[in-house]
Amino acid sequence: MRRIGQNFLVDRDVLSRIADYAELNPGDSVLEIGAGTGNLTEVLSRRAGRVYAVEVDGGLAAGLKGRFANVKVIDGDALKVELPDYNKVVSNLPYQISSKITYRLLSKPFDLAVLMYQKEFAKKLIAAPGTEDYGRLSMVTGHYARAEILEYVSRTAFRPNPRVGSAIVRLRPRSDRLSVNHESFMRLAAGLFSHRRKKLGPALEAMGVSREEFAELDGFILDHRAEEIDSEMAAWLSEKLYSI
């Protein structure tokens, strides 16, 4: 399973803590991505009312079907399948799809997410503007949710042992964020960090935005580079530059 970045979490104490962090109750419908052999699925099924377990490996998906009465197995790629209605996401994510699946999850409503990531990825997820780890991922995540690293997890908690450290992250959606068009915001974030060494004015021009379109922006803002722009400022820019 290394080819798809999947390492199976086998430590029962860690599995139990993940479910604790998710604050599960019988009224919850939980999305699990990368269900694998069902170790986390089993814990989730005991605490939540409904679990949707997505698994891309057909053999593993077949092994999950029928094992738990309240679990529906979705056989397919989590980046492509139609996702069901859920209010929480709890997953030991395949690390190779971490960025893409995080962006997809953030674009949809949920109450709470508890996700296992590679340690270095998790640090980028929560990074503050002006720090070395701050990037597109930090900007986008910061706009949609409040992220926190709950604990670091030893390599020995998995089979096979991953080559990297891991971290459990909790995401709580922000109710105070500026409402912007998702595609426009994502396009702005991607563009800014494609030209991260340029100040905002030249970066916007390189992205195809005319000077007339950003002429009224405060000169102080235009003097910033991508890594200095926080999620609130990025959302404001997206609203100013793109129609909702």
CA torsion sign, 13 to 38 to 172 to 29? Answer: negative
Here the tokens at position 166 are 């891991």
**pLDDT score recorded for residue 44:** 98
Average pLDDT in the 210-220 region? 84
Residue 134 Cα to chain centre, angstroms? 15
Confidence of residue 243 (pLDDT cuts 50, 70, 90): low
CA distances from 163 to 27, 89, 154, 159 (A): 37, 25, 11, 11
ω into 129 cis (within 30 of 0): no
Please tell me the number of Cα atoms within 13 Å of 157 on its side-chain side: 22
The span from the CA of 129 to the CA of 196, in Å, is 12
**pLDDT score recorded for residue 179:** 92
pLDDT digits (tens, 9 = 90+) for 103-151: 999 999 999 999 999 999 999 999 999 999 999 999 999 999 999 999 9
For a pLDDT cut of 90, what percent of the chain falls above it?
89
The SS3 assignment for 51 reads strand
